Amino acid sequence: MLLVNPTKKINGTVYAPPSKSYTHRAVICAGLANGTSKIIQPLKSQDCISSLNAMKALGSTIDIKKSNDDELENEVWTISSDGNLKVPKNVIDIGNSGTTLRILTSLVSQIPHNSIAILNGDESIRKRPMGPLIEALSQLNIEVLSNDNKAPLVVKSSKIDGNIVKITGDMSSQFISSLMMLLPFNTQDSKILIEGDLKSEPYLNITIDLLDKFGVSIKKDEINNINNINKKNKTNKKENAYLIKANQTYKATDYIVEGDYSSASYLIALGVLLDSDITIKNLFKDSKQGDKEIINIVKRMGADLEIRDDEVIIKNSKFKLKGIDIDVKNTPDLVPTLAVLGCFAEGTTTIYNGEHVRIKECDRLMACTKELKKMGAKIEEKPDGLIIQGLDIDNGETLKGAELETYHDHRLIMAFTMAGMLAKGQTKIKGEEAVSISFPNFVDVIKSIGGNIAIE
Ligand SMILES: O=C(O)C1=C[C@@H](OP(=O)(O)O)[C@@H](O)[C@H](O)C1
Ligand SMILES: C=C(OP(=O)(O)O)C(=O)O
């Protein structure tokens, strides 16, 4: 249980943890390359260790060393491979990591012929949808067996047979990242055609960026679809497609992982909500991470931040925030952070375009509504988002401490910790150990800046 007490002020300098999305991709690409890659400053979290162990099970050799930078306790992961995935000796357990499951489902089809790989994970992972990816792979004659289109999955080794693959864009970009990482092995040039709305697109840009560092090129091809011309306002609806050249090979490389904006969102939000003097290092201004948008969101709500090339500084807050409309199509992981921010912003905060937020570690729209209501939040669940009426802070209204469930969901634990620090009375957060999924030293970091929290 995490005990969270009201906290008035935070100050100090902290480092954002390394990016989860970049660490996953770097580890997997390193295992696909012929040679030795060094992943410098990787995120040592449960999810990324799932990717590391999976690549080990598929034949990579892994050596973990502390880096010289003692203060940050960073590591260097040296990953060696001959570029060919091996038949795994056992079921590959990907734990709680949706990214690992989705990306590997395509790639494990490239193990030697006449063999199978089995992917499985925890209770939450066995509920996450896989249908569109399984169907897309069948268009390439790759066979995946499952009950109900969910893990456990049995993937049969197969040559890629086909060069155009259609997939829905509105459920998870991870399906598309998965195809992007598979198709460079195709012997023909290939194209991924996205059907419907494309959500979480910044994660595809992360995939393209990282693949480029490992020598693989993917190009976006935007097609103006004449069938979709909206005659009334004469706007062309764009269809998204990606082009992948045949017979590309992953090249071993050394890669330094940048800081994670999704994890930093809790620190940034706390910084603007409390009396703060705080610097968050390892956040790059030119990052491709979609969750960098947290900076624009808090600015739109009325906060003032100093953005440097590689750090974010918040001084002399606390700001008087106002409620705004927020489209979370491209930033689903920010939703728990935004739900808490909305409680402390004057007026209405509307979070929309987030149907995909329901199919993460848990249904985060349901969970934020149910749990924050226990603290007195005025929050309403909508099919695609949340409507939050800000509390009357000027007249002393605030959240009240409560005992909260977290559904084994790391992002809920961190967002509810913020809520608890701003609430009146103690908040008890159950299942706090799940922060290790993406931000293992979260509790220590919050304590180091003055957060009055403790594990019981
Ligand atoms: O590819 C990635 O690294 C991720 C993609 C996003 O998922 P969806 O594409 O399913 O929205 C995000 O929510 C997840 O935390 C990480
Ligand atoms: C949804 C998340 O991750 P994944 O899909 O990899 O489980 C997350 O980190 O919030």
What confidence tens digit (pLDDT) does each residue in 132-183 have?
999 999 999 999 999 999 999 999 999 999 999 999 999 999 999 999 999 9
Going from the C-alpha of 99 to that of each of 21, 104, 175, 353, the distances in angstroms are 8, 8, 9, 21
Which pLDDT score, from 0 to 100, does residue 67 have?
80
Question: Does ligand 2 come within 6 angstroms of the Cβ of 408?
Answer: no
The ipTM estimated for the assembled molecules is 0.99
Q: Tell me the C-alpha distance between 180 and 175, whole Å.
A: 9
Q: Which residues line ligand 1 (CB under 6 A)?
A: 21, 99, 172-174, 177, 200, 203, 332-333, 356
Determine whether the annotation assigns residue 300 to a binding site. Answer: no
Considering only CA atoms, which residue is closest to atom 5 of ligand 2? 98
For ligand 2, atom 4, name the residue with the nearest CA.
Answer: 98
* Predicted pLDDT of residue 222: 73
**Domains detected in the chain:** 2-16+259-455 (3.65.10.10), 20-225 (3.65.10.10)
Instruction: Provide mean pLDDT across the span 183-210.
Output: 97
Helix (H) or strand (E) holding 218: strand 218-230
> What's the rounded Cα separation, in Å, for the pair 192 and 167?
7
Q: What is the pLDDT of residue 387?
A: 98
Active site residues: 333
Token code pair at residue 117 = 């790989």
Residue carrying the six token digits 């696909």: 32
Q: Is 302 helix (H, G, I), strand (E, B) or coil?
A: coil
Q: Is the pLDDT of residue 125 over 70?
A: yes
Are β-strands 190-195 and 164-168 bridged in parallel, bridged antiparallel, or unpaired? parallel
Which pair of tokens denotes residue 173?
């970009």
Give the Cα separation of 226 and 166 in Å (integer): 18
User: What whole-number distance in Å separates Cα of residue 341 and Cα of residue 298?
Assistant: 9
Q: Per-residue pLDDT for 111 more than 90?
A: yes
Q: How confident is the model at residue 231 (pLDDT cuts 50, 70, 90)?
A: low
Residue 160: which H helix or E strand, with range? none
Stretch 21-29: mean pLDDT: 98
> What pLDDT is recorded for position 122?
97
378-426 pLDDT, tens digit per residue, is 999 999 999 999 999 999 999 999 999 999 999 999 999 999 999 999 9
